[in-house]
Amino acid sequence: MIKISTIIITKNEEDNIRNCLETVKWADEIIVVDDFSHDKTLDIVREYTGRIYRQEWLGYGRQKQFAVDKATGEWILSIDADERVTSELKSEILDAVKAEEFCGFYIPFKFFFLGHLMRFGGCGREKHLRLFRKDKGRFDEEAVHEGINVDGELGKLKNYILHFSYKDKEDYFKKFREYTSLDAEKRFNLGKKAGWGHIILLPCWEFISRFIFKLGFLDGVYGLQWALYSAQYVYVKYLKLIRLYNENRT
C-alpha cells in the first residue's frame, strides 16, 4: 500500500483547523507542526492525530520542510489550515499516486475572498504544486511565497482545493502586514531596490491588470475590492523596501 502523509503548519488556527482536518482525515497520517499556538488549535488537532510537533517559526519554506522530514509516507500532501480537500480531489489523489506516472502534481484552487468565490481577477485559474513524492521533492527555504522543488516529471490534477483565505477584513490586513514585511525583507536580502516608480506605476498597473484585463469587474464589488487591495499590497511592499534601505544606509 502506498502511504500518503498530509502536512499542515499552524499557529492559532482554532477557527479553521477542524474544517481542514475533516477533509484530510482519510490520509494515512497527518503531521501538524505548530508554532506554539495559544488558542484551542492543538486541542482540536489531538482529536485527529498524535503526530504534533512544536517548532518556533522558521519561515514558510523551512517550517513546511520540517513537517516533511517528520513524515513517513511515500507521498506528501501539503495543505494549509484555511484550505479544504474536496471528496472528488481525494479520490483523484488516491488514483494518481497508485499510477506512479509522475513525481508531483499541480492542484487547481478555488479561492474565496471574504466568503465569495472569486472567478476572475487572476484568481480563477490558480494552481499550486501540493502533492509530491517525499524522496523527489523538497521545499525551498523562502520565508514567504515558498515553493517545492521536485526532481521528476509533474502532472496536473483536475479537482480542487478550496481556499478560504480571509474570514474578514481584519484577518486580511493582519496577513497583509505580515506578508508585505516578509516580501520586502526578501527583496532587500536579495539586493533588490525600489524607487518612486515602484510605488506609483506598479500599483496602478496591478489594479488595471486585475480589474480590467483579468476581468475582475465580473466579480462585482468583490472584484473591485480585490483589485484595490492587490494594488495596495504592491504599494506597501515596495514602500517597506524603500524604508529598509533608508534605515540601513551607512
CA-based nearest residue to 19, from 78, 80, 84: 84
Tell me what percent of the residues of the chain surpass a pLDDT of 70.
Answer: 100
Strand-pairing partners, residue 229, are: none
Residues of the chain with CATH 3.90.550.10: 4-165
Helix (H) or strand (E) holding 232: helix 220-247
pLDDT (0 to 100) of residue 165: 86
CA pair distance 181, 236, nearest whole angstrom: 9
pLDDT (0 to 100) of residue 150: 98
Tens of pLDDT along 21-56? 999 999 999 999 999 999 999 999 999 999 999 999
Q: Are strands 104-113 and 127-133 parallel, antiparallel or unpaired?
A: antiparallel
Q: Please tell me the CATH code under which domain 4-165 is placed.
A: 3.90.550.10
pLDDT (0 to 100) of residue 143: 76
Report helix angle 196-208 to 220-247, nearest 10: 170
Tens of pLDDT along 120-138? 999 988 999 999 999 999 9
Tens of pLDDT along 140-186? 988 788 999 999 999 999 999 999 988 889 989 999 999 999 999 99
Three-state SS at 203: helix
For 21, 30, 78, the CA distances from 46, given in Å and listed in that order, are: 11, 11, 19
CA pair distance 33, 109, nearest whole angstrom: 23
Detail the DSSP E strand segments found in the chain.
4-10, 29-34, 52-54, 75-78, 83-85, 104-113, 116-117, 127-133, 137-139, 148-150, 154-156, 161-166
- The answer to whether residues 4 and 97 touch, using CB atoms and an 8 Å cutoff, is yes
Three-state SS at 47: coil
Residue 240 has pLDDT above 80, yes or no: yes
What does the pLDDT average to over 112-123?
Answer: 95
* Global model pTM greater than 0.75: yes
Residue 16 has pLDDT above 70, yes or no: yes
Q: Which of 98-102, 154-158, 205-209 has the lowest mean pLDDT?
A: 98-102
- Residue 32: Cβ within 10 Å count: 26
pLDDT (0 to 100) of residue 250: 58
pLDDT (0 to 100) of residue 183: 94
pLDDT (0 to 100) of residue 221: 97
Tens of pLDDT along 70-98? 999 999 999 999 999 999 999 999 999 99
